[in-house]
Every structure is written in structure tokens, then in C-alpha cells.
Chains A and B, each alone.
Chain A
């Protein structure tokens, strides 16, 4: 606690000129202190090396000059940039039809599609890549069959294009989930007005619906961009090393530990990520996306004609088949005896589930506790930061947003080492270091997943007209009461989307966790999976554990989708 208080003194939010209400200032200071204590100080304790001179330890920028003088780093930088941009395009191709069809039309199974479309985000580490290789790899199912039938081989998984393919499948749910939430939030009156004026079909979508859903799309797309830019797991599992995040990771975890370069790259990652967020905010600046009417329950759902419906089901089915391929592979792998250089496994068995059955309950319990707490912390912080940024005039409020988003760019391993360094010296009364408590894992997860929840809450609040709050205040409600009774209920969809994203991704996070897990009794599912996936005999049990993780998170997602949908219907009906 003393750490948090000393941190508060340094928080940038203190430099206000036009103070808000005391409550708002206290809130800003509290959040600032939290971010300083659990993000800025630990990360700073690791990356300050980037600014020190070799030997003397004095301040220098020569390391950044080295960065721009090294071919490998420049090549990595452009590769990362290209892959991120291309992924956003491909992910949009997957996400747009799914979001549009399920929110805009009377589409049976919309809830199932929304849930299944969300699944790729929960690709457990290692097993996801293994099953992708078994299906799409150079000697995977598809290529073995293609070689047999046509004598050709498609390099789905090779080089940068392989990274784009896997990343787009993995991260398109960010766009899907945010865009769907935005589409649901659009005031039906807008659409009706356009229709009354004679607009319909594609024109209606292009001129009215899409622009109004822009905050959701931009929130999703910018997340995809930054996430892909900073992601190291996928490139590394495909053995692509000349990208920026893998370079940072490789250096920090091996012979670069003592060298500033790994930390220089981490700084570059953080700067680019924050810049991308800033640009996406600029893109939305000066326009008003808020709509006042909230009773309509989103866009009108149109009935589809026969051929339209056939086409829609065809498109949705095809996309789902493609994006769920890793999970289909995972399922096969979890039942497979031996699967080697053949389109399908040699045989099937239940033995792998038997093997993990005993241990998995502990992992499941830990995962649920950690991910729920982390998701909870994230939406509370997300709502608060979004409110402070969009609704108050506190000076420096933008910094809260940027600081929180910077977490996206901090490599998990840097955060992990930072936590060990910062909290290992803090002792509990009996002498055990603070860093060995599992609550530290929760905090690390919360920090790492905060950006997801924050973007979702931010987009939700952007779509709510301030006049609703003004009306409430004119009627005598206090600021706090307005937030509680008007703002938060109207943001429910976005908050839930944020919670689900944070929860689900925290449930399969590994890189920071790996550094912080202190005992098997505290280990989450992802860690158990990692331990299994280090041996030939562990592949099946690892996949079984992966399937359990996916089912678990999917069940939670389905539940929240169901609540969201029912909520919507209730509002629509009243």
C-alpha cells in the first residue's frame, strides 16, 4: 500500500488546471497510482537499460541509433508493420460478414455464430500451433491430400504470409466482437430516417450503418493491429524470427539479457503501439457517434429471402469452418493415438483425457479465479478510464488511456521479470516475498488484458449521447448516481464484451504467467499445458487440456452472450 501511495505523487493526472469534482480527481489519482505501481514501475525497472551507456551506465540514446543502423532490426520493423496491416485487412474479411449477417438479419443461430466466432481468440498456447501445422503445415492434412490429388503444395504456414494467415484467424474476433456490439447499439431511428428518405441495401449500410458503427470497428481493428505488432508467440511458433516482438523476446530471454538492445526494441514496440492508438483516436475525432434513442434495441433485423438466406448460411459456414480449423485439429489431436505424416490420426483413444482428468480440476479452478478477477479488475478500470477521458476535463486524463494501452505493447516476459524484480523485495510479515503470492499473477493478467476491456468500454461510451446524462443531472441526479443509473446500464453491452475478451484471453495467457507461477498448486491451465507440451508423450494430454480450456472459456462466453441477447430483447420489447 505504501508503494501505491508513493506512486500517486508521481502520477501525471495530478497536473490538472480545471479540476473536476473531488470524486473524479480521487478516481483519476487512484487509477494513476494503480498503473504506476503495477505497470510503469515494474516495466521501468527492466527497460531503463535501453537508455544507459554500456560500461558507464550513464544516460544515452546511442542504443536507439544502433537500432536504426542494424539491417536486421529495420527489416524486422517493416516485416512487423506489413504483417500487422495485412492481418487487419484479412481479419476484416472474416469479421465483417459474420458481424453484419448476425446483427442485421433475422438469422437463426446468431448467438451460436457469435460464440463460435469468438473461439479463435482462445487458442491455447503451443497446442493451437501444433494442430494448425498438422492441418495446414507443409505436410499437414490439406497439403498431403493436395499432393496426392493434384501434386501441388500451398505454403499456408510459411514465412510472413503464414504469420498473417494464423494471426488473422486468431485475432479477427476482436473486430467481430467490437463491431457487433457497435451494430447493436445503433439507434434504429437513424436507419428508419434513411429508409424514409429512400435509401436501402448496400447504400444504407455504407452511408448510415457502417459509419455509425465506426467506433466499434476502429476499436477492434486498432487492437488487432497493435496486438499483431506486439505478438511474439505466433511468429515464434512458426519459426519466423525477423519480426520486432520476437527479436525483443529472443534477446531478453537469452544472450541479450545484459544488452540494452532487447529493451530498446521493447521501447520501440511501446511507442508504435501508443502511436497506433493515438492515430485511431484521431480518425474518430471531430465526429459524433452518439445516438440518444436507446429503446429501439439496435438495428432492425430484416427477414431474408430464400436465396439470400442460403447465401448467408453458406458464407457464415465457410468462414466458421476456416477460423475454427485449429480447434477441429485440436479436438482430433486430443483423441489421436499417433498422428504423423498422415492426413488423419492412425487411431483414436480416450486415454489422454483420462491422464489429465485428475489434475485438470486444480488448473480449472485456478484459471477461473485468475481470469475472473483479472476480467473484473479490467472492466472496472476500463469504465473508469473511459469515463474520465470522455466525460471530464481533467488535464492529463489522456495519459491514463495511453498508459493503460501501452500495456498491450509490453512483452509478457518483460512484465514478468519486472514483477519479480519489483515485488520480490517486498516481504510479507512472515518473510515470504510478495511476488510469490498468486494474487501477483492476477495483477499481471489484469494489466496485460486491460487494453481489451478499455477499448470496448471506450467505444461503448462514445456511442452514448451526453444529453442523456445532462437530462439526468437536470432532474437532480448527482454525477455518481448518473453514472450508476444511466451510463453504466447503457454501456452493458460494451462492458460485457470487454469482460469476455479480457477473461477469455487471460485464461490462456502464458508468457507473463510462466515467469510468475511459483508452485504447481497455483498454476493455471495454460501453464499445465505448457508442461505437457514439452514431450512426445505429452502431446495428446496437452491437447486434451487445451480442449478443456476452450470448452471452459466458450461456456462462459456463451453464457454472457445469452445474457446480452436476452437483455437486448427485453429492452426491445419494452
Chain B
């Protein structure tokens, strides 16, 4: 054992010496982006800045935030690079980022209605993304299903058991989608839409990429995703299509320099490169397909590439309020999990029954049965917390480990789960009653 320990120590020392020699021109980035995105950008950056090596550490957004927090006493990475603006807000709030003013020119202040850069200068948008619905055309044709246009379409009977989404607690981008619907349609109506679509879910995946993966391989027909998942799948040859519903938003994916970064100069060079025309053009590659934030770059884009600066749809999109979203992130995610993810069987059961009764009513109408169905829908849509309560200190404290005494997270969860279970059961009873009348 001693010999093996000595051997290991020697090896460790050797590897340490090796890395020490290269430390000069290095910059390390923590990112949630896949290799398809990072490799071409790494290549272009190293070509434009000879002597600097870009080292990529791949972690999902949440793990990346956690990692920066755990290692803040002695940071080993220079940059954080990911989609969800919320994550950057969290890092900024914890003082883990440093300010910078990028040198890039020609980048407007806003995309759609959204400011591209953090107004305080802690993080910078480099690519825009919108949210929508992607589907597998082979699956759609084989099962004789329609093409959706709006979120609400997914709630209709033909889509039952054909839709997938990632859990917003696990996927920063899905969280933004949910929050966009809530902000665009309002708290109560938004949740009603989300729950009526959720009744048609086949699965709720644990990571963002699980949804496009399932749609690409044809295990699920439709997925609620961020646009580039669909565009890059198309670019790789998969038989998929994508649509932006009316209630959606365009938000920037960001890059930020870590506080006390070991290679601040190189990190700044990377940010400047990413925002330069050369860096922006890399985003147009088929396997990446993100929307550049420099409007001039779209001149080089292929036919049919969405242009958020010209396309009128984007100008009308919902203004996304980061502060509002940030104040209730945990509550919204937990509500989604407790009311939908962990009650999916109950929710699907009552949704299926509603679809069946509606089918019968379409043939032979019955006003009394319709009234019962709308009561059932009201029961499903009911929320255990109001919008004001969701961002109240009392409830937020349960999730942030605050020093105040108050309700524990587990207590609230059990309460909300019980609320959902009870309401779905009551709704099911109403639908069963309606089913008898409809016969």
C-alpha cells in the first residue's frame, strides 16, 4: 500500500508540474453548453488569440453555480458561460462575478424587449434564444397528429400522452418557459394553461436535453424546448420542426467573468472575442444555430434563419421581468413539481376523462355535462398560493435556508401535494358525473 501511495504521489507531482508549465496563456470556462457549441468557438478563439488556450469544463447550470460557490475561496476558473439569465443573477447576488465593459461595437441595447447586457455590467448576452414547441415529423405523420401553433393547442385531446417537458427545477431554460407563460398570461391563467398542457404530458425529463433527445429519437412526439435544440437537431439532419407560440420571449444566453479569476486578462479577451463579428459568426454553424446579438452578422445567415431584429413576431413578444422571476424561482419550480411532476398520474387520469367526455359532447351536446366539465377544469386550475404569496418573504424563506424560523420546505411541499391530490380527485368525480350525463 505504501508503495502504491508513493507511486500515486509521484504521478500527482508529475501531472502538477506539467500543468504548471502551461499556466501562462490559459483561460478556463465553466459552461453548460455542449461540445458542439464549445469546440468551434474554442477553435476560433484560439486562432484569433494565439498563445491562449481555452480550457472547457462542462457542468450543467445548477452544478456550475454550486461549483463556483464551493470554490470561491480560491477560484480556479475564469468564466461562467450558460443560457439561463437567472443563474447569472444568483451568481451576481452572491458576489461571485466581476464587472467589465466589453470592447465590442454594433450590439444594440435590447433584443425584442429584453436588455442584452446586465445593466450593472456583471454579465453580457452573446446569443439570443426563444422558447417554443418542437416535434418529430415522422411521429406526427405516423400517428396522424396536427401541427401545433400555440401552447393551448398542446392541451387539446389529440396531443394526449404525446408531449414532453423538462422539469423546470432541473432545467434553467424550461424554468424560463414556465415563467414566460406565467408572466405573459398572468399567474392564475398561466397556471391553468400549464396544467391543462401538463395533462397531456407523456413524460417530464430530468435534464434539458432529455426532451430534444426523446423527440429526435421519436420516443415522444412533441417537446417544449428552447429554440436552438430544434435548430441544431435540424442542422444535424433529424426530422423535426419548431414553432414560436405568440406568448414567448427572447432572452440572451450569457457569459460572465468570475470574481478573483486567476486569468482575468484572458477572460476579458474571451468575452471580447465572443461579442466580436468573428465570434458571432461561429454561432451560425449548423450544429450550433443560435441567434447572434450583433444584427450585422445576420447578413451571413442561411435562408430562413430567424432574425429577432427584423422579424415582427419578436418585437411583440412578452417582456420578461428578471426580478419578478428571480423572486419566486424556487416557489414556481416547487409548485410545478408538487402539483404536476409528482401528481402526473392523477392529473393525466382526469385529463383523459375530460377529453373523452368532450368527444361525446361534440356528437351530442349536454349543457349540464359542460357545466360539470368547466367546474372540473376550475378545480384542476386552482392554486394553493396566490401570486403575492409566491414571492412573499414567509414562503421564500422556506426554500433559501434563511436564518428566520418559519415553515420548512418539506411541510409546504406536503401541503401543496395534498392540495393538488384532493383537487384532482374532486375534479375526477365531477368528470365522472358528466360522463354519465353525456351518454
Contact = CB atoms under 8 A, between A and B. Distances in A.
Interface of A: 30, 54-56, 62-63, 66-67, 69-72, 130, 133-134, 137-140, 236-237, 239, 241-242, 246, 250, 253-261, 337-342, 369, 373, 376-377, 380, 417, 420-421, 424-425, 427-428, 430-433, 435-439, 442, 514-515, 517-522, 527, 530-539
B13 to A, nearest CB: 9
Given A54-B408, A138-B219, A439-B8, 15 more contacts: A54-B401, A55-B405, A56-B405, A130-B213, A241-B342, A253-B170, A255-B169, A340-B136, A376-B4, A420-B71, A433-B76, A519-B55, A533-B209, A535-B35, A535-B287
Contacts of A520: 55-57
Contacts of B66: 253, 257, 417
A71 B418 contact: yes
A66 B58 CA distance: 35
5 contacts: A62-B408, A70-B417, A72-B413, A72-B417, A340-B218
B401 A258 contact: yes
Contacts of B36: 535-538
Contacts of B219: 133, 137-140
B410 A139 contact: no
Contacts of B210: 237, 239
B203 interface: yes
Contacts of B58: 527, 530-531, 534
A531 B202 CA distance: 26
Contact of A536 (B33, B216, B404, B406): B216
Which of the listed residues A67, A72, A255 has the most CB atoms from chain B within 10 Å of its own CB? Answer: A255
A535 B341 contact: no
A210 B433 CA distance: 59
B49 interface: no
Nearest to B411: A66
A453 to B, nearest CB: 14
Contacts of B405: 54-56
A424 B4 contact: no
Contacts of A54: 401, 405-406, 408
B110 interface: no
Contact of A538 (B4, B34, B330): B34
Contact of A377 (B4, B74, B406, B421): B4
Contacts, number: 214
Contacts of B417: 70-72
A324 to B, nearest CB: 20
B71 A536 contact: no
A67 B204 CA distance: 24
A241 B166 CA distance: 12
Interface stretch (B119-127, B233-241, B244-252): B233-241
Contacts of B299: none
B139 A341 contact: yes
Instruction: State the main secondary structure of chain B at its contact with A.
Output: helix
Interface string B54-76: 01111100110011001101101
B217 interface: yes
Interface of B: 1, 4, 8-9, 11-12, 15-16, 19-20, 28, 33-37, 55-59, 62-63, 66-67, 70-71, 73-74, 76, 136, 138-139, 142, 167, 169-170, 202-206, 209-210, 212-214, 216-219, 229, 232-233, 235-239, 287, 329-330, 333-334, 341-342, 399-406, 408-411, 413-414, 417-418, 421
A242 B62 CA distance: 21
Contacts of A133: 214, 217, 219
Contact of B238 (A63, A338, A436): A338
Contacts of A70: 410, 413-414, 417
B409 A259 contact: yes
B55 A341 contact: no
Contact of B74 (A66, A431, A442, A530): A431
A340 B237 CA distance: 10
Contacts of A539: 213, 216
A133 to B, nearest CB: 5
Contacts of A533: 209
A343 B100 CA distance: 53
Contacts of A253: 62-63, 66, 170
B229 A536 contact: yes
B138 A259 contact: no
A341 B136 contact: yes
Given A130-B217, A341-B142, A377-B4, A256 B403 contact: no
Which of the listed residues B11, B34, B56 has the most CB atoms from chain A within 10 Å of its own CB? Answer: B34
B16 A432 contact: yes
Contact of A417 (B70, B409, B421): B70
A527 B71 CA distance: 20
A73 to B, nearest CB: 8
Contacts of B400: 258
Contacts of B235: 536-537
Contacts of A67: 410
Contacts of A442: 8
Given A254-B169, A424-B73, A437-B15, A515 B67 contact: yes
A116 B15 CA distance: 35
Given A515-B67, A519-B57, A337 B237 contact: yes
A281 B170 CA distance: 39
Contact of B399 (A30, A138, A259, A518): A259
A215 to B, nearest CB: 26
A536 B216 CA distance: 8
Contacts of A425: 73
B34 A534 contact: yes
A433 B74 contact: yes
Given A71-B414, A258-B400, A519-B55, A250 B19 contact: no
A438 B19 CA distance: 12
A420 B59 CA distance: 15
A514 B63 contact: yes
A342 B411 contact: no
Contact of A255 (B16, B333, B403): B333
The 5 closest A-B pairs by CB, nearest first: A341-B218, A258-B401, A535-B34, A534-B34, A536-B233
A537 B341 contact: no
Contacts of B55: 519-521
Contacts of B206: 236-237, 239, 241, 246, 250
A57 to B, nearest CB: 8
Contact of A519 (B19, B62, B167, B401): B19
A340 B214 CA distance: 9
Nearest to B399: A255
Nearest to B32: A534
A520 to B, nearest CB: 6
